[in-house]
Structure 1
C-alpha cells in the first residue's frame, strides 16, 4: 500500500511567526509554490496559502508588513507520513483543500498536494475524486 511519505515533498521551506506577509509572498514567488507552512519553535502552527494573502492580507487588511499570524490558517488538517494515499485524498476532498502538511511527532516533515497524487498512474483516481469534490463544492459556493 502506498502512503503519503511515498508522494510528499519532503524538502519544505517555511516561515516563522516572526515573519511578515511580504516575506511569505516573496518566498512563494521564488519557490513557485502556493503554500508556506508557519513554524514556531519548529512546530507547525499554521499555513499561509496564496489565497490567504489575497483574501485576508490584501482585501481585508493592509498588505506588506502584516504579521503572518494575522492572516495564517491555524485550524489545520494534517497528514501522517504513514497515512494511505486514499485517506489523504479523502481528507482533501472532505475538507476542500488541495495541499496537506505532513507532520510526524509534531514536526513538519513534508507537504502533499493533489498534483503529487495526480502524477502517478496508480493514484490518479484518488486525485480525480478529491479534485472533483473540491471543484463541485467551490462551484456551488459561487452561486
Structure 2
C-alpha cells in the first residue's frame, strides 16, 4: 500500500512569518495538534501544540508577536506519496513522530498521520481510539 492511498490531502499549514497566536487559532479552528510550516510550497518545519506550550507559553513569551519560525522544529521529516506505508511507519518510529508531511517534487501535497495508518491497517474501532487519544 502506498502513502498516496491513505494520506490526507487537505493540508492546513502556516508560514514561518505567521505569529504563534495566529497558528494556535488556526490549529484550534481545525481541531489539529500540528501544522507544517510551509514557505512557497516547501516544508520548512513542523509546529505542534507542544512547541507552543513549551517554547512560548512556559517561557512567558508573547504569542501575538512571536513568529512561528522562532519556535517550530526545523527540517521536518517527510515522505513521498509513492513510498510504501510500511516505510512511513518505520520512519515515524525512528523519528518518534505521529505525523509526516507528504512531499512531491519539493511541494507539500498531503499529511500522513498515525491515525490514517491505523484506520487502514487496524480497523475502525482501534483507529477511532487512536484518533481520540491523538486529539489535542
Q: CA RMSD in A?
A: 1.9
1:1-143 matched pairs, under 5 angstroms? 2-64=1-63, 65-120=65-120, 123-124=121-122
**Which whole-Å CA distance do the structure 2 matches of 1:124 and 1:88 have between them?**
16
Q: Unmatched 5+ residue regions in structure 2? A: 131-136
**Which whole-Å CA distance do the structure 2 matches of 1:71 and 1:11 have between them?**
24
Measured at CA, do residues 46 and 14 of structure 1 come closer, stay the same or move farther in structure 2, by a change above 3 Å?
same
Moved over 4 A (4+): none
Partner of 2:133: none
> Deviation at 1:61?
4.8
Q: TM-score if structure 2 supplies the norm length?
A: 0.85
Aligned length: 125
Q: Unmatched 5+ residue regions in structure 1? A: 132-143
